Amino acid sequence: MDPHRLGCALAAASAILLALKGVLIKDALNAGADPTALLWVRMAASLPCLAVVAWWCGRGAPPLPWRARLAAAACGLVGFHLAGFLDVHGIQHISVALERVILYLFPTMVVALNWALGRARPAPALWTAVAITWLGVAVSCIGQPLTRGSVPLGILLVAGAAAAYAAYFVGIEPLIRRHGALRTAALAMGAACLGVVVHGALAVPAGVWLRQPAAVWRDGLLLAGLCTVLPALLGGGALGRIGGGPSAVIASIGPGVTVLAAWAWLGERPTPWIALGLALSVVGAIVAGSAGARRPAAPAWPSAQGDAEQRASGLGSATGVGPATDGGALLDRPQTACGTPA
């Protein structure tokens, strides 16, 4: 298959699988699953696969300094453990469609954080993307019971998940520059998995585990394989073949898939306001993904160590940071093709 078409197919497959995350979580919660137990199953099942990826990508490469390992682990705990915890608890109180709209705030949050830290000066189009995305969230909240019930709590928790994932993107950038993408991301996600395993062991009593429905295991394993490990690998392959901008545009099919899947599987019929807000959020994410940002001078991408790691792993530009990609697209232009908030 032509590399460009293969890259488009990989990006589409990654976006579709990621779009099912909220539906599977909601399905398990509706069946009576404990949120923390569900997150535990997902991350515990993902851990062996991520360990294999980290080992494979590190073959023959210089070992990561302990400082880099600790930094990657800290990023993972924020971007996957904390974000996943907030998301799985927030989606209890709101619809899957509204959760997806709010999560689409994270690309504009990345832009704002990079600007606040002086790493990048956003182009005018990026400020337009910020305005469109936040307008989409505001429109989606029309008709929601914001003055009663637990909907406001759900919105705040999911927004916190988006902010935590944005912080992960900003924090992981310099590590990816120096040490390569897949090994660094696998280390970060592996640390998050370990954090969730310990958290679940301490926070979920044995009696709660005995009362869990079969859905917590079924949906948790599906979340691990179909919505965590596989989309990350597919997204990395897409970035290496078609670059960040096209990947972001293709990833815009994800929210539509989420709404349709939630309607068909869970019976959550979207309101017209949520549909409009979702469309605005997708447009904002596409603008953010396509516009980029002017960056200050930075070391060559990738560093010598990251380049050696890629050659040793045999993955080449599939990591998404090799010379064959549109240099640094993953970080200059926040993506949804290779991941959404956990």
Say if residue 17's pLDDT is above 60. Answer: yes
Say if residue 174's pLDDT is above 60. Answer: yes
Say if residue 1's pLDDT is above 50. Answer: yes
Tell me if residue 293 falls in helix, strand or coil. strand
Say if residue 148's pLDDT is above 80. Answer: no
Measuring CA to CA, which residue among 160, 195, 169 is closest to residue 43?
Answer: 195
Q: Rounded to whole angstroms, how far apart are CA atoms 103 and 106? A: 6
**pLDDT: is 174 or 287 the higher one?**
174
Q: What confidence score (pLDDT) does residue 183 get? A: 81
Contact status, residue 315 vs residue 57, Cβ threshold 8 Å: yes
What φ, ψ does residue 149 adopt, rounded to 5°? 75, -165
In sequence order, the 6+-apart residues with CB closer than 8 A to the CB of 290 are 125, 245, 248, 249, 333
Tell me if residue 58 falls in helix, strand or coil. coil
Distances (CA, A) of 179 to 106, 113, 246, 306, 309: 24, 22, 25, 4, 7
Say if residue 295's pLDDT is above 60. Answer: no
Which of 5-9, 14-18, 80-84, 245-249 has the lowest average pLDDT? Answer: 245-249
Give mean pLDDT, residues 175-199: 87
Q: What confidence score (pLDDT) does residue 270 get? A: 84
Per the prediction, the chain carries an average pLDDT of 79
Q: What confidence score (pLDDT) does residue 292 get? A: 52
Q: What residues does each domain of the chain span?
A: 3-332
Q: What confidence score (pLDDT) does residue 338 get? A: 41
Say if residue 3's pLDDT is above 50. Answer: yes
Please give the structure tokens belonging to residue 150. Answer: 């637990």
Q: What confidence score (pLDDT) does residue 23 get? A: 95
Model confidence pLDDT, tens digit, residues 206-237: 889 999 999 999 999 999 999 988 988 888 77
Residue with tokens 């830290």: 117
Model confidence pLDDT, tens digit, residues 297-333: 333 333 333 433 343 333 333 333 332 222 233 333 3
C-alpha of 289 from chain center: 14
The dihedral sign for the CA sequence 225, 229, 235, 236: negative
| Secondary structure element (H or E) that encloses residue 112, with its range | helix 106-116
Q: What confidence score (pLDDT) does residue 297 get? A: 37
Q: What confidence score (pLDDT) does residue 117 get? A: 84
C-alpha of 268 from chain center: 23
Model confidence pLDDT, tens digit, residues 233-290: 888 778 678 766 677 677 778 888 888 899 999 998 888 888 888 888 888 877 776 6
Q: Give this prediction's pTM.
A: 0.79
Say if residue 179's pLDDT is above 60. Answer: yes
CB neighbourhood size of 245 (10 A): 18
Which of 18-22, 146-150, 304-308 has the lowest average pLDDT? Answer: 304-308
Q: What confidence score (pLDDT) does residue 245 get? A: 62
Torsion of CA 92, 93, 97, 103, to 10 degrees: -80
Say if residue 132's pLDDT is above 50. Answer: yes
Q: Rounded to whole angstroms, how far apart are CA atoms 240 and 326? A: 9
Contact status, residue 259 vs residue 304, Cβ threshold 8 Å: no
Tell me if residue 338 falls in helix, strand or coil. coil
